[in-house]
Amino acid sequence: MNDMKPLPLDPPYDWPGYGSTRLRFPREPLVALPAGAFDRPGPLVPGGFVHAGDNDLTRHGKTLPLGERMVLAGRLLDTDGRPVRRSLVEIWQANASGRYHHPADNHDAPLDPNFQGLGRTFTDDDGWYRFVTVKPGAYPWQNHPHAWRPAHVHFSLLGNAPIQRLVTQMYFPGDPLLALDPVFNSVPDPAARGRMLCSLALETGIEGVALGYRFDIVLAGTRSTPLGP
């Protein structure tokens, strides 16, 4: 008989290796939400919030941004593998040099005036989303000596109620920084960590222009994408 408990799928709120979790994890018992709270429709995404072209991060400047262009596409799925339709998917990321277009980022790497690193779109009727962007660079952070985040893209998923918002980070296969990254490794189960990796999918790209990567997101169940890191 195997009485080993399965490893949790999502990272703990407090993870000593990831220093800033110490400042923001809940120190009081969590408040239980009333039954049905997750189903209560909240303010939906206001009309006009998502514009045509918001999913092409390479077209937000006067010219193309620097870096390796890529198409990042995948499906948003529920526990049973059914598509989650018309759901807001947002991404944010560093530029190809590993710097965010944000005043709090003081990394000594160049900003790219043609890349802001923020995109949004709705999933279609089959749960598909698609972004055109550039591959983000790795960047240093002050978590520990010689700490560098592996290249990653942040995802936010908004259901049909505000308390359904979920966030995660997507990584690239084969990145040697993954084994050293406390954020990636805050997800206890190695198999679950693997579900935060995209896969090379050349057919998803644009011939002669952009590489293609596929990243499906499963919201719940034993095959779910880790959420919260």
Active site positions, annotated? 100, 139, 149, 152, 154
- Neighbour count for residue 6 (Cβ, 10 Å): 9
Return the biggest CA–CA distance within the chain: 63
CA distance 77 to 84: 5
| Distance (Å) of CA 41 to CA 44, 55, 90, 155, 227 | 8, 25, 20, 22, 21
Angle at 60 between CA 54 and CA 64, to 5 degrees: 125
Q: Which residues contact 64 (CB under 8 A, 6 or more apart)?
A: 58, 114
Residues ≥6 apart with Cβ < 8 Å to 223: 195
Q: Which residues pair with 132 in a beta bridge?
A: 56, 71
Rounded Cα distance between 205 and 185, Å, is 29
CA nearest 223: which of 183, 196, 184, 186?
196
Tokens encoding 168: 């995660």
Cβ atoms of 171 and 197 within 8 Å: the answer is: yes
DSSP three-state, residue 72: strand
